[in-house]
Structure 1
């Protein structure tokens, strides 16, 4: 790995070479996530005029001695490039510029005797970029049958897989985040018009604009440059629509009726075979949305406006075993975009949008399980997600060689809830294979009614052309404020369970009655507070045109993270992490037809605000166990009858705010990953191109909490500390301490010697943890036939291996999205047997999608996905000898029924197959009118995508819900659209 000084020296040498090598080819810049670039070839000295008539933007540039030119920071759109040669002949060509992408154009040169020639061409291959990305315009997306959201579009990219449906399960966007390149679903970063809209509480939510406000969407799955950070998975970037020199507008209605959906299903265990079956039941979702938009010039060539408003009427009905619910949503959403061409050199943009969404849920008792007969009303709850965002961006082309852009934004995300039954404890009977819910509670866990997030951010980027070298540099800064908390309704969660004779509970109680014991588990939990997280970064990159055909990108990014506790004191502060990035792109034949590219880079991800909440806030969490007397209360709460207490109270957290110096290793490093990519891309005739790429990602450092008081205490006694001092050291670590698992742990401990806090370093071996591992190895083969007005086709095959002992920021095995503070690494017993194929491992993935204009008025489209299943586990009570506490985590270890079953060895879920189709009709008798129908999951395949992996209710006591299907492929649905545009 390059040291910081070596890399800086290399950049300095490259900079110096650029000043001395003016005869070398011109360097090219990578495009930003909200603008594109043009890179061209023409005769030296040619004056090229670049014009986008739609937005009144004109640039003039003189081709250098090397015969190359470039223009960066261009708003997306179609550009005309023209020139007049000395012999009087002229040449024009047209090129499409996409956000986050570079377009290569080539002028044919002068032709004596011809006044106008149009023989220049644009190529699909960006021979100056070594990034792995996919850019889809809204027109392309509209030709494909996909769910209308950012995640569904992202899943079209090679290496993208759907995350577990339990991750990010709050609100209307439940379980809808992708896993990119083997990373966990919490490790992506999301942008809208260059502004970071990732919800940094735990990384599993993000702000979105209305779908019809999208102009294009880009997915970077690897190799991205130093201007991007805070991601180990990928970058998802949306560019919105904007006004042009012509007034355009439209309206549409999109309706997906529940009456045409495939049956809703529930899982039922066969009493004869013991296998889980999917059984049909009533229920479904009626989804009606309408959009109205208009955009155009307020002042032609100068000032433009675009506005869109979306209305919705969504109603979803679910019929369960003991309850049924109806959820309604009528939340309007909007986008406003204003663009001001101050002059030919300066552009000012303003974006405002809202994705605030409110679900109102009505819960009733079921008269008959899974049927429509409705009993008494239990309660009405309201959940809010999303919020308002405002972005200002200024771009200045100060000279032909120097460009600066500045962005300022504020984003809000509301997570408030109003739970009518908040005073009702949640009661379940888990003694049978179908869990029965009792009482009047409607939610298992309640979020703080005032929960919300706010990001205030700015960034500055600059590009400077120095002949063979193109310098890019910039910085960004954001403050993220979170108000968060959660608690059990009625403060305590009650569940009735079975404990076989001789089995043990997590608090150490052993059932010595000689028969199965029915018991009540009572868990009390509440936490919360208001916290701030401050992240900043700066970067430097030299895009060095080594030869006419070889581009080298040498970059470095430095990031700093500062997390504050509930009292406003820093408890994690990391300055100047160094992330080198190296990219190479070789235009093999110099004709933009064949590109060989390679990348090597390091990527860091910040400490999520969830860590502040769970580790540096107030948290009370404890268990009590009682004998069940066989009865439930007669009032609406239906509390279980409790007899004698079984063992003592098991305390997880005692509710104290800890001294920030005593909860974090002062030498802690954020989580980071190294990545290596090698690929080749070939342009073929008739708009075809093919790609082959190999990717290797290696997670180098993990940041999580450790609670291993036993290991810390035993080491302290052996190291010569007194018994009292050893107990203090053990308690400091045992309160759950944040550090880098697998490394030595340094803790600040008050040893009672009057010296205050003393740094104590505990060797890694004493804590008995394995070294963290997560690798992703993938071979990608892809092809594309670009749209020509008649047809397009695109597809990929990915062979991938995702293996290790940690998924990363979430734990899909049990649906835990406590980013950075999950149960992994708490105690060594939980990590025993943890190495294997990870939840996002999909060995084989085939994707094919495209569209065909079968007749002037008719177009069809299709989307096919074939993917192998994910690994499954058998999780149970810990039965090893690495520690005596992992058993307290209940069914959480890789021991199952007393035997070790390492990660991923319990088989896999079935292969997933899905075909979706589309038909579009645009009648000649009414220009601008269109009708469209999409059928998603045509054959209504209902593949189980995840199961309940907890196998025990006590040591040796099997869980009746083990292997119960949890994630199930969405049912077939029809979506109808009527649209008029002008």
Structure 2
């Protein structure tokens, strides 16, 4: 009897004993790997989806079953001596699970409760399935879940902003929020216009989310930050379904807030105002077998009724969204060796906006209503994936996908100029415009992608190789409503304007800054790659991952002519993982790799398209008309028109350095992980990332002209060189510039190499250093706890593909590197630098019916700048950029040296009730940010209205922590 009990306990504990992960290639499938005596027959079975596979262990004692759908598998081993052993394992997408049957035993040691760890992979990864996510009180979106990972920080609220919400993209591992890549069922859904948006399935359709923050293998690319991968739900052999209603009422939210200048203290004061968001969603889903063990279907439909009310200084808005979303997934087990998956989902949302004038700032009385607006985001996606297990040792999969993303707008007030009075801290909007910038009504993106992945088990060597191709077409365009954006400002005595005007009147004068901007066109971007990796089991306890990825990028202009083409960049990846004791209880690992990111399509639009951009300055006469379409009173012009774009698109060969290299980063990680008793694990990791190349536009024509005059070119040729560079060249800042320029000598384009020293730019720098400490107590049906502390430092002179200092998400065409003056003093603590971050979350099953959960984060504040009009002597053009340099009130303040924002703290709680008296029913209450902490997360860093004129809006808070919200859910499942 004792013998039988011992065996039973060993089998039941099996899922714990083998829950560690091993390396896997696909981000939508997983592997089972292990060791057993040569000749052992291994059979795996997932009864829920009718999948069974069998193989014989090779002479080296290794086996590997690859590209398996996520789920719970029974693994059976029949040894050559006839003895058998069986256990349950959980397979996660993007990872592998170990199941070793090396020796038969009739005893169980006390360490059977050890939480075995991943000893095969050097990747930094967090995986949460649906059940784990449901136990955490967190906002129901991909970014909120990703922010649970160590080293993840929320990006600037202006980056990726939409009509319904502030920017919601994470910064991972010190990279900018535009440098992540997003997958759904293996298909890349990143919006490649600028990288700060992505397609999403309804949250209830997510089966698992994985976040890779470093050390990932060569199958992944096009990212310097992290990889966020979603696996959707699918049908099984049992019909299951459900419905729920999720409500976040406005009445239970923390009040909306605004800021105003203190009347006596000179500080910014925070006050409550009406408004908020009422969010109601309903989901209905079902899945099951159309043909048992062969053909499965899953479908989900989400309805929504979201209304957001906002009350500002001079306007009020009500934004409504009622767009439905859906997800459908079909899985066909063609036979024991071939499967086909089809996924379709739609996340298109139309936000309808009504706007009124405000008769009382920040309060409910309304003035006249303006014409309505409608903004569209998201679109339809279709994915097909075919997997074939050609032999026991060779597996191949092919994926094809079509993704669409609509970014169009229909602005009712398109004929109205945007007019704003900036003379006081309460910036007042005049006229009838509802927005400062109008996106092309037909703006949209379309991605066609194909990838092939293969795995070949050769005993001690596991080869993985593949390729992927993407073609991305974008239609984009932006213009000012009414043709001009008009700002009313004050110019102090002695101050000057970018137009060259100096206020020598001895008194302040009010002036108009009038800007005209328009661009647009249709553009194509092509990205391709192939990779090869050898997972070499050097010894029983040491695994080496030796890989390389080659990427190619091609960007075309509006005439379908190539203006950037880079072939075969080489990105090596090296990793080592050491199972120190040989029992999956302790791992030491390291990783060294290079990572490239594509040239975003925004570069096509801004650099290779036709762009007209100029600004004029006038005396303000103070005679605003009651006619909303009429311009405010203009007096004499102050100085000359400043022109940034003349409305023409240049020869594609004359806007890009032909020797340009894509943006890339090198990374080094070393760490250790230790399993402890009672399902605990602890870990420590050191990460170092260094940006090696930056790709951006440079416009220093005066510097190029001065160099030409000193190096044998006559005055006319030097002027041509200067004018050509003034139109901006895309190149690698900090290096020599090779420019193709027509010198007017009848020879056409001639290659001109301008030394880096003559252009006056520093070398680009971005260094991220982090020490990460983690702990986890795995869920056992009663409780779990997980947390981390990260000390991190992100320093340099460029954030990367965005510029959070000013809320600019012009990937590849930021104002950095345009002129030397803009980079003077730019080295320091970067916007995503959060020196200290504490995270902890967990759950406890109080009774069989009641579960409680908690989630807390404490984080140090963001570094601050004082940005102003350039006052140095490196160039005479940077002043045209307004409050954009690190000179402020004629004093140079290096990046991040004027202080930091305060720490932020947030606690969220959950109560989940599943009554026995109504089986299948769940009632859930989540309170996010329980204490309604409203820490400031970003401020206005522009410190001047004109050179020498302090801005009344400096340090005005721009965004806060989201206020307290209450989420109520009622759900029924069968």
With normalisation by structure 1, the TM-score equals 0.96
2:252 corresponds to 1:253: no
Instruction: Name the CA distance, whole Å, in 2 between partners of 1:164 and 1:681.
Output: 33
Instruction: Name the CA distance, whole Å, in 2 between partners of 1:704 and 1:532.
Output: 19
> Secondary structure of the residue that 1:932 maps to in structure 2?
strand
Residue 584 of structure 1 is matched in structure 2 by 576
Residue 34 of structure 1 is matched in structure 2 by 28
Matches within 5 A, 1:269-348: 269-348=261-340
2:761 corresponds to 1:769: yes
Q: What are the ranges of 5 or more consecutive residues in structure 1 without an aligned counterpart? A: 1-26
Per-residue Cα deviation, 1:702-747 (whole angstroms, up to 9, x for no partner): 0000000110000000001011100110111110110000000000
2:335 corresponds to 1:367: no
> Secondary structure of the residue that 2:484 maps to in structure 1?
strand
Residue 107 of structure 1 is matched in structure 2 by 101
Instruction: Name the CA distance, whole Å, in 2 between partners of 1:107 and 1:143.
Output: 33
Structure 1 residue 449, shift from structure 2 partner: 0.6
Instruction: Name the CA distance, whole Å, in 1 between partners of 2:497 and 2:155.
Output: 32
* 1:438–1:347 Cα change, 3 Å: same
Residue 942 of structure 1 is matched in structure 2 by 934
Instruction: Name the CA distance, whole Å, in 1 between partners of 2:535 and 2:728.
Output: 45
Matches within 5 A, 1:1-20: none
Instruction: Name the CA distance, whole Å, in 1 between partners of 2:568 and 2:29.
Output: 28
Per-residue Cα deviation, 1:27-82 (whole angstroms, up to 9, x for no partner): 97524110111122333322121110010011112223333322111110000111
2:741 corresponds to 1:749: yes
Structure 1 residue 89, shift from structure 2 partner: 4.3
Instruction: Name the CA distance, whole Å, in 1 between partners of 2:235 and 2:762.
Output: 56
2:345 corresponds to 1:353: yes
Residue 17 of structure 2 is matched in structure 1 by none
Matches within 5 A, 1:44-83: 44-83=38-77
Residue 159 of structure 1 is matched in structure 2 by 151
Residues 890 and 954 in structure 1, CA contact (< 8 A), matched pair in contact too: yes
Residue 604 of structure 1 is matched in structure 2 by 596
Q: What are the ranges of 5 or more consecutive residues in structure 2 without an aligned counterpart? A: 1-20
2:189 corresponds to 1:197: yes
* 1:212–1:351 Cα change, 3 Å: same
Structure 1 residue 271, shift from structure 2 partner: 1.9
* 1:111–1:186 Cα change, 3 Å: closer
Instruction: Name the CA distance, whole Å, in 1 between partners of 2:656 and 2:207.
Output: 44
Structure 1 residue 566, shift from structure 2 partner: 0.7
Residues 42 and 56 in structure 2, CA contact (< 8 A), matched pair in contact too: yes
Instruction: Name the CA distance, whole Å, in 2 between partners of 1:118 and 1:540.
Output: 42
Instruction: Name the CA distance, whole Å, in 1 between partners of 2:716 and 2:933.
Output: 62
Per-residue Cα deviation, 1:339-383 (whole angstroms, up to 9, x for no partner): 000011111000000000010000011122111112211121000
Structure 1, 362-371 or 408-417: larger mean CA deviation: 362-371
Structure 1 residue 780, shift from structure 2 partner: 0.3
Instruction: Name the CA distance, whole Å, in 1 between partners of 2:863 and 2:512.
Output: 32
Q: 2:535 aligns with which of 522, 530, 543?
A: 543
Instruction: Name the CA distance, whole Å, in 2 between partners of 1:387 and 1:86.
Output: 55
Instruction: Name the CA distance, whole Å, in 2 between partners of 1:775 and 1:326.
Output: 43
Instruction: Name the CA distance, whole Å, in 2 between partners of 1:50 and 1:239.
Output: 21
Per-residue Cα deviation, 1:827-866 (whole angstroms, up to 9, x for no partner): 0000000000000000000000011101110000000000
Instruction: Name the CA distance, whole Å, in 2 between partners of 1:99 and 1:334.
Output: 22
Residue 967 of structure 2 is matched in structure 1 by 975
Residue 8 of structure 2 is matched in structure 1 by none
Residue 7 of structure 1 is matched in structure 2 by none
Structure 1 residue 84, shift from structure 2 partner: 3.5
Instruction: Name the CA distance, whole Å, in 2 between partners of 1:957 and 1:640.
Output: 22
Q: 1:699 aligns with which of 683, 691, 697?
A: 691
Residues 60 and 459 in structure 2, CA contact (< 8 A), matched pair in contact too: no
Residue 832 of structure 2 is matched in structure 1 by 840
2:363 corresponds to 1:393: no
Residues 155 and 168 in structure 2, CA contact (< 8 A), matched pair in contact too: yes
Residue 491 of structure 2 is matched in structure 1 by 499
Residues 102 and 129 in structure 1, CA contact (< 8 A), matched pair in contact too: no
Structure 1, 398-407 or 94-103: larger mean CA deviation: 94-103
* 1:857–1:721 Cα change, 3 Å: same
Structure 1 residue 822, shift from structure 2 partner: 0.5
Instruction: Name the CA distance, whole Å, in 2 between partners of 1:788 and 1:309.
Output: 32
Residue 396 of structure 2 is matched in structure 1 by 404
Structure 1, 871-880 or 628-637: larger mean CA deviation: 628-637
Residue 371 of structure 2 is matched in structure 1 by 379
Q: 2:859 aligns with which of 861, 864, 867?
A: 867
Instruction: Name the CA distance, whole Å, in 2 between partners of 1:253 and 1:931.
Output: 10
Residues 523 and 623 in structure 1, CA contact (< 8 A), matched pair in contact too: yes
Instruction: Name the CA distance, whole Å, in 2 between partners of 1:588 and 1:117.
Output: 19
* 1:199–1:124 Cα change, 3 Å: farther
Structure 1 residue 101, shift from structure 2 partner: 1.5
> Secondary structure of the residue that 1:680 maps to in structure 2?
strand
Residues 780 and 797 in structure 1, CA contact (< 8 A), matched pair in contact too: yes
Per-residue Cα deviation, 1:653-687 (whole angstroms, up to 9, x for no partner): 00001000100000000000000000101111111
* 1:108–1:403 Cα change, 3 Å: closer
Structure 1 residue 495, shift from structure 2 partner: 0.9
Structure 1, 630-639 or 697-706: larger mean CA deviation: 630-639
Residue 12 of structure 1 is matched in structure 2 by none
* 1:117–1:845 Cα change, 3 Å: closer
* 1:197–1:532 Cα change, 3 Å: same
Instruction: Name the CA distance, whole Å, in 2 between partners of 1:117 and 1:874.
Output: 63
Q: 1:131 aligns with which of 123, 135, 144?
A: 123
> Secondary structure of the residue that 2:197 maps to in structure 1?
coil
Residue 612 of structure 2 is matched in structure 1 by 620
Instruction: Name the CA distance, whole Å, in 1 between partners of 2:476 and 2:153.
Output: 29
Residue 16 of structure 1 is matched in structure 2 by none
Residues 451 and 468 in structure 2, CA contact (< 8 A), matched pair in contact too: yes
> Secondary structure of the residue that 1:714 maps to in structure 2?
helix
Instruction: Name the CA distance, whole Å, in 2 between partners of 1:750 and 1:85.
Output: 76
2:552 corresponds to 1:524: no
* 1:64–1:429 Cα change, 3 Å: same
Q: 1:733 aligns with which of 695, 711, 725?
A: 725
Instruction: Name the CA distance, whole Å, in 1 between partners of 2:165 and 2:315.
Output: 22
Structure 1 residue 88, shift from structure 2 partner: 5.2
Structure 1 residue 638, shift from structure 2 partner: 5.2
Residue 13 of structure 2 is matched in structure 1 by none
Structure 1 residue 591, shift from structure 2 partner: 0.7
Residue 18 of structure 2 is matched in structure 1 by none
Matches within 5 A, 1:575-974: 575-637=567-629, 639-974=631-966
Residue 224 of structure 2 is matched in structure 1 by 232
Instruction: Name the CA distance, whole Å, in 1 between partners of 2:862 and 2:378.
Output: 31
Structure 1 residue 118, shift from structure 2 partner: 15
Instruction: Name the CA distance, whole Å, in 2 between partners of 1:119 and 1:636.
Output: 77
> Secondary structure of the residue that 1:724 maps to in structure 2?
helix
Per-residue Cα deviation, 1:500-527 (whole angstroms, up to 9, x for no partner): 1110101111111111011011000000
2:92 corresponds to 1:90: no
Residues 257 and 272 in structure 2, CA contact (< 8 A), matched pair in contact too: yes
Structure 1 residue 102, shift from structure 2 partner: 1.6
> Secondary structure of the residue that 1:632 maps to in structure 2?
coil
Residues 565 and 612 in structure 1, CA contact (< 8 A), matched pair in contact too: yes
